[in-house]
Amino acid sequence: MIRNTAKALSERSVLLVFLCTLIGAAAQVLFKLGSASMTGSTPVQILTHVFTSPALLLGFACYGINTLLLVLALRKGELSMTYPIISLTYVWVSILSVLVFHESMNGFKIAGLGIVVAGVAVLGRGGRS
């Protein structure tokens, strides 16, 4: 019973961290969108834009939610198992960059993303006892 409960908590932690990767990627896209419309170069102009841009404010909110979910996930999950999953954020950001900003994807980028995914898969496989 205790082992099943621990396994369920660990699986829930992994799912929460996976959700964090998606929310973190969304925050990055929102930051890029919000910063693209930034004008001015003085500190006051920049701060005014930061605090009035809906995209930037939503990006900050995503990071806040991301942080809260990560705290919940790390509370009961194994740090060595859950935290490396965060690297999947790089994968989502790269995919969203192609879809939203029409950035290019070359073989080196694809290979790098494949290595990240493979690394997370290896860690996940190694975490199962």
Q: Give the distance from CA 102 to its chain's centroid.
A: 20
Tell me which residue has tokens 């954020």: 89
| pLDDT at position 2 over 60 | no
pLDDT beyond 90 at 25 = yes
Q: Which of 78, 92, 61 is nearest to 13 (CA)?
A: 78
The verdict on pTM exceeding 0.95 is no
Angle CA 26–51–95, to nearest 5: 15
Predicted confidence at residue 113, as pLDDT, reads 97
**pLDDT attached to residue 20:** 96
Instruction: State the pLDDT at residue 44.
Output: 93
What pLDDT was estimated at residue 65?
97
How many residues does the structure list for the chain? 129
Q: Can you give the pLDDT at residue 37?
A: 86
- CA–CA dist 36, 20 (Å, integer): 24
